[in-house]
Amino acid sequence: MNSLTSSVSPLRQRMIDDMRMRKFKGKTQIHYIRAVRSLAAYLKRSPDTATAEDLRAFQLHMVETGTAPPTINSTLSCLKWSP
């Protein structure tokens, strides 16, 4: 039951499939995808190339731009899990 289309990257499709296997609810899936998309925008490259130092720099960026601590924590939790 793979819904891979030309508008979805293989990395995103894998993440969606993994979340479905773990029975994540729709809103949770949206939050996880949003976190990965934010990291990719910050890095200006594919998020699967991120290093631990990249995640630390992204966290500092979120602090500097005024992101609320609960949002930072949940975003980092999503990124730690993401395939």
Instruction: Look at residue 4 and tell me if it is in a domain.
Output: no
Model pLDDT, residue 1? 45
Average pLDDT, the chain: 89
Name 9's Cβ contacts closer than 8 Å, sequence gap at least 6: none
Model pLDDT, residue 74? 93
Average pLDDT of 51-72?
A: 96
Instruction: Look at residue 43 and tell me if it is in a domain.
Output: yes
Residues 33 and 14: beta-carbon distance below 8 Å: no
pTM: 0.80
Q: Is the pLDDT of residue 3 over 60?
A: no
Per the structure, the complete domain to which residue 72 belongs is given by 10-81
The 10s digit of each residue's pLDDT in 8-43 is: 888 889 999 999 999 999 999 999 999 999 999 999
| Amino acid code (one letter) for 12 | R
Instruction: Look at residue 2 and tell me if it is in a domain.
Output: no
